[in-house]
Structure 1
Amino acid sequence: MNNCHTQSKHHVLLLSFFYAITIAAFYLAATSTSTENENLALARTFVCILLLPVLSKYIIQLIALPFYSVKEKFPQTNKQLKSTSTLSVSVIIPAYNEEVGIIKTLKSVLNTHYEYLEIVIVNDGSTDNTHDLVNEFIENEKSDYNAEIKYLKLNNGGKAKALNKALKLASNDIVMTIDGDCLMDKNAITNTVKRFNCETIGAVAGNVIVGNKSKTIEVIQQLEYLCGFFLRRADSVFNSVFIIGGAAAAYRRNVLIEVGDFCTDIVTEDIEMSTRILAAGYKTRYAADAVTFTEGPSNWRCLFDQRLRWKFGRFQTFIKFQNIFFSKNKQHNKYLTWLLLPIAVYAEFILLIEVLVLAVFFTYTFVCNDYLPLVVLITVMATIIMIQICFDSKRHFHKNLFVIAPVAWLMFLTVDIVEFQALYRSLKRLYKKENLQWQKWVRIGL
């Protein structure tokens, strides 16, 4: 109890500090008289040019966002359009030392009450109580649910190998994956499956929400996920969602058979798979109303290691699929190959020099007393976040972020620090030709 009170106190103090800085920026913008400095103005112009490609991508995505709802209400009408009402689903739950949450995860999938459902639990050599808990549930509670449950216990070989073994047991039309620390919303399967209304759709990404939000580090991740997944609506408009995380991923089974097993050499096997499906000419979509709650890391060391794996795995994927960058092949989506992927790599370069970029921006701001650009940035960012909260299918869950929105610009600076360390460590590993293993952290449970 005392620990919770201390965390809450620290969160309030940090939020108050961020608000003080933000209010000061608005006060200075209203009371200061700006001056000219040619050298700094030139430096600021150079920074703006550097940021232009990334800003252009965001502008295109913001313009495309309204079309997501239109596309959802009025799906394409062509000969390939299929009914999804009878599609059967296999949900794979890979688990390694997930005793804290595995039964909650399993029950959340069963409580979707999807009519044509089988569940494949694959235990990747857990050394805790995961095996006993799953066995006990199957023996005592399986009969309470109208779904087939298959259980596979393996020696530890990594998540990708475990998924590939589970695929051999999965027999239904759509294969979904969910991590052993996640909770699936009751409508998640139904809302995911209805996106497979066309044979050319190979995979669908669900909406992942960070479910633990008692600590500052958790709230930062909640905000980050909200913003990141919201922009996938735009990628979905162009049928090019290239990051489909394993916490809430769905694939057409015959597409998985066509493109092959999950890659065991890349630590983000989920991103590699979604990129491979796109490279094969299939479309990918995003289901904003197919919600899965995940447990975000609750300490900085674990968050740093998680983002290292994500960053390193993305670089591995980019290197493997470098041939689709700026591809002229007709089966490759131009939005993906000419915008998303190149800008994703370019954004890493910007992150690498972000300290210099921020130094130029704030030096210009303080020396020239020109706080208007900063205030405009804060206002635009806060407005966009509030719009995102209002349009999210779980807006009530995100209501705490209304208080965070005005100081989100400072929250995202914290995210950039986390991402920068991941970038540095990834580049170092790539240079030294070192690999990376899965990292685990202590689960608290949702």
Structure 2
Amino acid sequence: MDIALVVFWLFAGVSILYVVHFGLYLVGANFYDIWQQRRKGLSGVQQPVAYEPECASTAIWHRRAAPEVPGLVSVVIAAHNEEAVIVRTLESVRRSTYHSLEVIVADDASSDLTGRLVRDYQVRHPEMDLRLMRMRKNVGKGAALNAALRRYARGQFVMTLDADSIIQPDAITNALSYFDDPYVAGVAANVQILEETTALGILQRFEHMIGYRSKKLYSLLNCEFVVGGVASTYRMRVLRKVDFYDTDTLTEDIGLSTKITNLGNRRFRMIFGADVVAKTEGVLTLRALAKQRFRWKYGSLQNLIKYRGMMLNPHRRYTRTLTYYRMPMALLSEFTLLISPLAWTYAVYWSLVTQTPALIIGAYATITAYTLLTVWMDENLTVRERARLSIYAPTAYFLFYIMDLVQLTAAVRCIARSRGLVKRPEINTWKSPQRVGSSAVVARAA
């Protein structure tokens, strides 16, 4: 009976925590939208800068870092065996409305046709300042990005892309508009899932929509420190200040944004750009999802431990919302994910035994309503997409339960490998998951 009572209160505590945060996310997102309208109304959207690109050329190995060019954006794409998707990514960058660009593909020892496809693209589009940097051996994503940034990037700003992602034509223009604020060091993109024809795809689509909507609140409170690697944009001088990416965690992108935030987020702010829209492929199998979530969770924990000095830190260079709210909640959420599936399972059992389904019905209604609100209030969806996702919304509760089980498995694996959370080895290899790269997706991206 005592065990049952403990489980019940665990379930109640997790449920209350989620409901409170859902409410905060909703309110914060609305205020963020108002701020966006005022920002665009006052300053306008930055116009593309005229630029005559250099002739495309394949980069040589030994080259000193080029001087920074004001107004130029260096788009750096890390790739390892990405022949199925690399052309689609390059095509999305070429269609950008911002023309002062240089594109650098860091090919990390691909054994497929990735390098050849990039060279072919150079020949077909000589007007595009596109360079290929090939690594002789697989050094890892972070190291490959560092090599490209240190040796070849000349831009005042840097946008990084995964080779399976695409950007909307106005994404770079919109990202640069945030840097009118001199305290903005980095801009996180609004990342959406490309494929959603399966239950797994729908799950990832909903998860990304809800997760990225929470970033609106974090931006308003100036407590964001997690910026992914898809279409994230930084000032080059800030990247040089922190010496680019570290290579001792599984999530080098989160490590970079956290390292910048560690300088003091009152001066080096991270902003979420809801209008900086990028799309990426979701994983195709449950096994791949489990591997991905383990990597994300393990890397997140590595960085939380690495930069634990920011947590509850009263120093004036940090905002209170970062040190007393965002970072503690980031750590606490990992523990709630650990117990959430167990608590939900027991709650279902308890409701059936006692014939009181109100608890489960209430939880189902809350999740469904929140998912519908997220869909209806998403400014980047077409009417057709909004209607289709609304039809899928009643399944979100059950799909999220699957994700909770995946997260539980990832948490157990993190505990089993806890030694590497503190004593972090250098990451020197990486492997891209299976890609779709279908013609249908290419057409949609174009």
Could you say what secondary structure the match of 2:187 adopts?
strand
Once the two structures are superposed, residues 330-377 of structure 1 have per-residue CA deviations (whole angstroms, 9 ceiling, x without a partner) of: 111222221122112112212222344224422432233322232222
Query: Residues 438 and 296 from structure 1, CA distance in 2 versus in 1: closer, same or farther, beyond 3 angstroms?
Result: same
Deviations 1:305-326 (A, max 9, x none): 1111111100110110010011
Residues 1:142 and 2:123 aligned together: no
| Secondary structure class of the residue paired with 1:74 | helix
**Which of 82, 86, 105 does residue 98 from structure 1 map onto?**
82
The structural deviation recorded for 1:50 is 5.4
Instruction: Identify the residue that residue 209 of structure 1 maps to in structure 2.
Output: 192
Q: Cα deviations across residues 107-156 of structure 1 (Å, max 9, x unaligned)?
A: 1011013132111111111110011111111123223xxx4222211122
Match of 1:419 among 401, 407, 410: 407
Question: 1:62-97 CA distances to partner (integer Å, 9 max, x unpaired)?
Answer: 33221101221224999xx99955643111111111
Partner of 1:231: 214
Identify the residue that residue 34 of structure 2 maps to in structure 1: 70
Task: Report what 2:397 is aligned to.
Answer: 409
More deviation, 39-48/265-274 = 39-48
Q: CA separation in 2, counterparts of 1:142 and 1:418?
A: 45
- Residue 261 of structure 1: CA displacement? 1.5
Identity %: 28
Alpha-carbon contact 1:268-1:314 (below 8 Å) kept: yes
* One of 143, 147, 152 as aligned partner of 2:133: 152
2:105 is equivalent to residue 121 of structure 1:
yes
- Label 1:188 to 1:303 Cα distance change in 2 as closer, same or farther (>3 A): same
Contact 1:84 1:196 in 2 (8 A): no
CA distance in 2 between partners of 1:210 and 1:404 (Å): 15
Aligned to 1:393: 379
Say what the alpha-carbon RMSD is for the aligned residues: 2.6
CA deviation map 1:371-415 (0-9, x unaligned):
223222222222221221122233234543212211211110011
Q: Distance in 2 between matches of 1:43 and 1:306?
A: 29
Which letter maps to 1:123? D
User: How far apart, in 2, do the equivalents of 1:379 and 1:51 lie?
Assistant: 13
Deviation at 1:163, TM superposition (A): 0.7
Q: Secondary structure of the residue that 2:415 maps to in structure 1?
A: helix
1:299 is matched with: 285
Gaps of 5+ in 1: 1-36
For the residue of structure 1 that corresponds to 2:230, the secondary structure is: helix
What is the deviation of 1:46?
5.3
Q: Say which is worse superposed, 130-139 or 330-339, in terms of deviation.
A: 330-339
Secondary structure of the residue aligned to 1:400 is helix
Separation of aligned partners in 2, 1:286 and 1:96:
28
Using the alignment, how far apart are the partners of 2:230 and 2:40 within structure 1?
28
Q: Does 1:249 align with 2:235?
A: no
CA distance in 1, matches of 2:368, 2:215: 19
After TM superposition, the score normalised by the length of structure 1 is: 0.84
- The answer to whether the 8 A contact 1:210-1:222 is kept is yes
SS in 2 for 1:408: helix
Residue 367 (1) aligns with residue 356 (2): no
In 2, Cα distance between the equivalents of 1:142 and 1:407?
A: 48
Is it true that 1:165 corresponds to 2:141 in the alignment? no
CA displacement at 1:38 relative to structure 2:
11
User: Which of 165, 170, 175 is equivalent to 1:187?
Assistant: 170
The residue number in structure 2 matching 1:15 is: none
Partner of 1:17: none
Confirm or deny: 8 A CA contact 1:240 1:278 kept in the other structure: no
SS at match of 1:208: strand
2:301 paired residue number: 315
CA contact (8 A) 1:82 1:199 kept: no
Amino acid at match of 2:83: E
Distance 1:56 1:329, change over 3 A: farther
> What is the rounded CA distance, in whole Å, between the counterparts of 2:259 and 2:424 in structure 1?
23
Question: Helix, strand or coil: the match of 1:122?
Answer: strand
| C-alpha contact (below 8 Å) 2:109/2:135 kept by paired residues | yes
Whether 1:197 aligns to 2:180 is: yes
**Structure 1 CA distance for aligned equivalents of residues 237 and 366 of structure 2:** 44
C-alpha separation in 2, matches of 1:171 and 1:83: 24
Q: Which residue identity does 2:104 align to in structure 1?
A: V
With over 3 angstroms needed to count, the CA separation of the structure-2 counterparts of 1:108 and 1:39, relative to structure 1, is: closer
Q: Is the 8 A contact 1:105 1:180 kept in 2?
A: yes
User: How far off its partner does 1:40 sit?
Assistant: 6.3
8 Å Cα contact 1:83-1:197 kept in structure 2:
no
The letter of the residue matching 2:135 is L
Moved more, 364-373 or 90-99: 364-373
Which of residues 149, 158, 164 is equivalent to 1:175? Answer: 158
Show structure 2 runs of 5+ residues with no match.
50-70, 442-446
**Does the Cα contact within 8 Å between 1:309 and 1:438 map onto a contact in 2?**
no
Q: How many residue pairs are counted as aligned between the two chains?
A: 405
Q: Secondary structure at the match of 1:265?
A: coil
Query: 1:162 is matched by which residue type in structure 2?
Result: A
- Counterpart of 1:438 in structure 2 is 430
Q: Distance in 2 between matches of 1:148 and 1:311?
A: 37
State the alpha-carbon separation in 1 of the partners of residues 210 and 173 from structure 2: 24
Distance 1:243 1:92 in 2: 19
Contact 1:84 1:197 in 2 (8 A): no
Q: Single out whichever of 50-59 and 111-120 deviates more from structure 2.
A: 50-59
Indicate the SS of the match to 1:142.
coil
**Structure 1 residue matching 2:162: 3-state secondary structure:** coil
Q: Is the 8 A contact 1:267 1:438 kept in 2?
A: no
**Are residues 393 and 53 of structure 1, via their aligned partners in 2, closer, same or farther at CA, if it must alter by over 3 Å?**
closer
Query: Is this contact kept in 1: 2:97–2:173, CA < 8 A?
Result: no
Which whole-Å CA distance do the structure 2 matches of 1:140 and 1:99 have between them? 17
